[in-house]
């Protein structure tokens, strides 16, 4: 029987609650499909920062490297600056393990309300975000602090290697999933160096995939079109910042962040990949048992697919669809179900399939 070691990193806020339900559903899928998933909790995040002055221990990355995958809940606390959270935990994991492909699928599930006026058209988008450089490269600095001449410089870094590999990943994903189009998000009218470079690499890679339709859209226009006609997009490839922003829109038009999964992938498979819901730690509702675990559950399904357990992944996705179509919902999407009730319902649906 196959067995997988998974580092469970619940993190902060609602992370512990949604990860628990994700693990419950994975256990049901593993029993059904005949494999084992051994979750080992690593208690890092904001409490570790309060206790030790850092988000994770010195040997954290060495310890994580021995796992088959990392399952993250959420990180963030009102008393911990966001840049500490990002640079103290998330970015070191993504960069050290070369998790350069951030994949954020978005589906409008049957029975889930959308804020759009048009409700009859299917929405099924995969947003591929560059995950290790670009606008989040942390290159820059400050001088003359606290004076009227203070200057802050933040430099985006785009390498040929980083840009080409994420664009190629998007096209290969489209080919594998038999999707018809890949849309590039740019801002080359204003960013005459980095984004014209991005556009050029996009054209070069696109030429290798003649069967796939291509288009290039300015990020502001893309934000508008994702609200006006999101069903027209299939695969989107974007830089670190643009992808981060636009994925909030894709999640919102399909029901909200509580339903949105993501994967941070090392496509070479030399290092463990990390799977997490798109939402944050939501400290305002933490501990109340009302958080939506679906994003975390679908992230776990992505993890199982990545590990080669496609039948288990498909069973979880089908179970989520069945439960939502049946009318069970958490408060964020118009229902009254608790976090545990939603997780239990999905787990039962997996076992019953």
Backbone angles phi, psi at 154, to 5 degrees: -125, 120
Query: Are residue 4 and residue 30 in the same domain, yes or no?
Result: yes
The per-residue pLDDT for range 293-328, each reduced to its tens digit, is 999 999 999 999 999 999 999 999 999 999 999 999
Q: What is the mean pLDDT of the chain?
A: 97
Residue finishing a domain among 254, 280, 297: 254
Q: Is 109 inside a domain boundary?
A: no
Considering the domain architecture, whether residues 202 and 288 belong to the same structural domain is answered as no
Q: Residue 241's domain is classified under what CATH number?
A: 3.40.718.10
CA dist., res. 57 & res. 43, Å (int): 10
Q: Are residues 187 and 275 in the same domain?
A: no
What is the rounded distance in angstroms from the CA atom of residue 109 to the CA atom of residue 277?
16
- 133 and 243 fall within a common domain: yes
Q: pTM of this prediction?
A: 0.96
Residues 129 and 244 grouped into a single domain: yes
Closest CA to 243 of 292, 300, 198: 198
- The candidate with the shortest Cα–Cα distance to 97, out of 71, 69, 75, is 69
Q: How far apart are CA 300 and CA 69, in angstroms?
A: 10
Residue 338 lies in a domain: yes
pLDDT for 353 beyond 80: no
* Per-residue model confidence (pLDDT) at position 260: 97
Q: What is the pLDDT of residue 176?
A: 97
- Specify if 262 maps to a domain: no
Q: Are residues 120 and 235 in the same domain?
A: yes
39 part of a folded domain: yes
Say which residue the tokens 């054209």 belong to: 203
Residues 94, 32 share a domain: yes
- Tens digits of residue pLDDT in 55-86: 999 999 999 999 999 999 999 999 999 899 99
* Claim to verify: residue 161 and residue 248 sit in the same structural domain: yes
Gap between the Cα atoms of 332 and 256, Å rounded:
8
Neighbours of 323 (CB within 10 A): 25
The pLDDT, as a whole number, for residue 120 is 86
Banded model confidence at residue 119, pLDDT cuts 50, 70, 90: confident
Last residue of a domain, one of 192, 223, 254: 254
CA-CA-CA-CA torsion for 224, 264, 315, 236, nearest 10 degrees?
30
Tens digit of pLDDT for each residue in 171-192? Answer: 999 999 999 999 999 999 999 9
Asked whether residue 294 is assigned to any structural domain, the reply reads: yes
Same domain, 118 and 215: yes
What does each C-alpha distance from 182 to 93, 124, 170, 212 come to in angstroms?
28, 13, 7, 7
In a domain, 108, yes or no: no
Query: Do 66 and 119 fall into the same domain?
Result: no
Are residues 286 and 165 located together in one domain of the fold? Answer: no
Whether residues 72 and 122 share a domain: the answer is no
Tell which phi-psi region holds residue 348, choosing left (phi > 0), alpha (psi between -120 and 50) or beta: alpha
Q: Using only C-alpha atoms, what is the Rg of the chain?
A: 20
In this predicted structure, the answer to whether residue 105 has a pLDDT above a threshold of 90 is yes
Domain boundary (196, 227, 254) is at: 254
DSSP 158-197: --HHHHHHHHHHHHHHHHHTT--EEEEEE-TTT-TTHHHH
Tens digit of each residue's pLDDT (9 = 90 or more) over 189-231: 999 999 999 999 999 999 999 999 999 999 999 999 999 999 9
141-160: average pLDDT: 96
pLDDT computed for residue 173 by the predictor: 98
Instruction: Indicate the number of domains in the chain.
Output: 2
Q: Look at strands 36-41 and 213-218 and give their pairing.
A: unpaired
Residue 260 lies in a domain: no
| Residue 118: per-residue pLDDT | 85
In a domain? residue 259: no
Which range of residues forms the domain containing residue 318? 1-99+267-353
| pLDDT tens figures, 220-259 | 999 999 999 999 999 999 999 999 999 999 999 999 999 9
Which among 103, 89, 98, 10 is positioned nearest to 55, based on CA atoms? Answer: 89
Give the C-alpha separation, 199 to 9, whole Å: 37
């Amino acid at each position: 029987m196959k067995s997988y070691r998974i580092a469970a990193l619940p993190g902060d806020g609602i992370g512990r609650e949604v990860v628990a339900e994700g693990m419950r559903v994975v256990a049901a899928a593993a029993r059904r499909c005949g494999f084992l998933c051994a979750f080992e909790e690593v208690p890092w995040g904001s409490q570790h920062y309060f206790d030790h002055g850092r988000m994770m221990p010195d040997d954290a990355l060495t310890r994580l490297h021995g796992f088959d995958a990392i399952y993250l809940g959420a990180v963030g606390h009102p008393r911990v600056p966001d840049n500490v959270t990002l640079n103290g935990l998330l970015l070191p994991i993504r960069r050290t393990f070369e998790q350069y492909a951030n994949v954020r699928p978005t589906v409008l599930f049957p029975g889930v309300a959308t804020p759009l006026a048009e409700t009859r058209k299917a929405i099924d988008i995969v947003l591929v975000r560059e995950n290790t450089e670009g606008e989040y490269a942390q290159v820059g600095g400050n001088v003359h602090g606290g004076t009227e001449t203070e200057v802050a410089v933040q430099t985006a870094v785009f390498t040929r290697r980083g840009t080409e590999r994420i664009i190629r990943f998007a096209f290969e994903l489209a080919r594998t999933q038999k999707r018809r189009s890949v849309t590039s998000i740019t801002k080359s009218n204003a960013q005459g160096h980095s984004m014209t470079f991005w556009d050029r690499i996009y054209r070069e890679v696109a030429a290798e995939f003649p069967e796939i339709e291509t288009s290039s859209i300015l990020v502001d226009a893309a934000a508008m079109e994702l609200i006006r006609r999101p069903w027209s997009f299939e695969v989107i490839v974007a830089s670190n910042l643009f992808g981060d922003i636009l994925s909030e829109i894709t999640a919102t038009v399909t029901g909200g962040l509580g339903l949105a999964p993501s994967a941070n992938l090392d496509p070479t498979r030399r290092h463990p990949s990390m799977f997490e819901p798109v939402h944050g730690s939501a400290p305002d509702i933490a501990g109340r048992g009302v958080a939506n675990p679906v994003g975390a559950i679908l992230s776990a399904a992505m993890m199982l697919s990545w590990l080669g357990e496609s039948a288990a992944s498909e069973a979880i996705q089908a179970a989520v669809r069945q439960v939502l179509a049946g009318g069970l919902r958490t408060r964020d999407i118009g229902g009254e179900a608790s976090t545990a009730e939603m997780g239990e319902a999905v787990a039962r649906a997996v076992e019953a399939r």
